[in-house]
Amino acid sequence: MHEVSADESRGAALEVCDSSLARLSAEERVAWALDKLPGEHIVSSSFGAQSAVMLHLLTQQKPDIPVVVIDTGYLFPETYQFIDDLADRLQLNLHVFQPRCTAARQEALYGRRWEQGVKGIDSYNRDNKVEPMERALDSLEVGSWFAGVRRAQSSSRSATPFVETSGERWKVHPIADWSDREVHYYLREHGLPYHPLWDKGYVSIGDVHTTRSLADVSSMDQTRFFGLRRECGLHDMDFGRTG
């Protein structure tokens, strides 16, 4: 297995890493990244429909890994309960980051931005998701960030690599090539739960005001952000060191 060295060009290193990781299991990818890539390591989680997979994968090898969750103040009640349940079950080292401005103050100043079209949604996501994540990366002095992004989740994620880099930081997607079936089998094998709203048709779960059940819309794309956006910005952001 290739070890990243300071003498290699970034592009060459990424190409070799990605092609090598494609031949490994998700567990082996995690082990490689924990050993070869720079610390501090974290895993982010939305505590969405299938989030227990990544949390279990990482904590099996690094039980004390910081788990970063962004609390916008608008999560479903079921999501807050799911966070508590998984934190207890997996003994998570939870780090909760929130927007600098409270939900009530934001609505007073800007109105309900999620109802103000694409620009409003983008502005809301920037303040409530991207900025808190940037702050988390800097305050925890993160070298490598694990995330559960999968190519099968949407067309916008179809080219997700196993590893990528920005500035001095690395980002790792150990289950990038997993299908929904593989996720299901992993959860069943390890006795892990789906999000409580899964059984009600919620396949992609974010904030209360911009998440819809499949039963209430005509396509998967409309389950988030009224079909105007598929991504919240967290996995499109420049995650290089900003501090």
Q: What is the pLDDT of residues 85-115, one digit of tens each?
A: 999 999 999 999 999 999 999 999 999 999 9
Residue among 69, 24, 71, 64 nearest 40 (CA): 64
54-92: pLDDT as tens digits: 999 999 999 999 999 999 999 999 999 999 999 999 999
Number of domains in the chain: 1
Strands (E) located in 24-179: 41-44, 66-70, 93-97, 144-146, 163-166, 169-172
Is 116 a domain residue? yes
CA 213 to the chain's CA centroid: 20
- Residue 175 sits in a domain whose CATH number is 3.40.50.620
Block residue for tokens 């880099």: 165
For residue 242, tell me if it sits in a domain.
Answer: no
Q: Is 216 exposed, middle or buried (0-12, 13-18, 19+ CB in 10 A)?
A: exposed
Of 52, 67, 197, 232, the catalytic one is: 232
In a domain, 233, yes or no: no
Q: Residue 8's pLDDT is what?
A: 47
Sequence-distant (6+) residues with CB within 8 A of 112 are 209
pLDDT at residue 18, rounded to an integer: 82
Beta strand segments in 17-98, E: 41-44, 66-70, 93-97
pLDDT at 76: 95
Tokens encoding 179: 């299908």
Domain extent for 151: 26-227
Is-catalytic flag, 17?
A: no
Q: Where are the beta strands (DSSP E) in 71-126?
A: 93-97
The residues near 15 (Cβ < 8 Å, ≥ 6 apart) are none
Q: Are strands 169-172 and 144-146 parallel, antiparallel or unpaired?
A: parallel
Q: What is the pTM of this model?
A: 0.88
Please list the pLDDT of the chain residue by residue as tens digits (243 residues). Answer: 555 544 444 666 677 778 889 999 999 999 999 998 988 999 999 999 889 999 999 999 999 999 999 999 999 999 999 999 999 999 999 999 999 999 999 999 999 999 999 999 999 999 999 999 999 999 999 999 999 988 877 666 677 899 988 888 999 999 999 999 999 999 999 999 999 999 998 888 999 998 888 888 777 777 777 766 655 556 565 666 544
- Cα three-residue angle 69-172-54, rounded to 5 degrees: 50
Q: Which of 227, 234, 233 has the alpha carbon at shortest distance from 210? A: 227
Residue 4 lies in a domain: no
Residue 9: phi, psi to the nearest 5? -70, 150
Within-domain flag for 204: yes
Contact in structure between 183 and 48 (CB atoms under 8 Å): no
> Do the domain assignments include residue 11?
no
- Rounded to whole angstroms, the Cα distance separating 201 from 133 reads 28
Residue 1, pLDDT score:
56
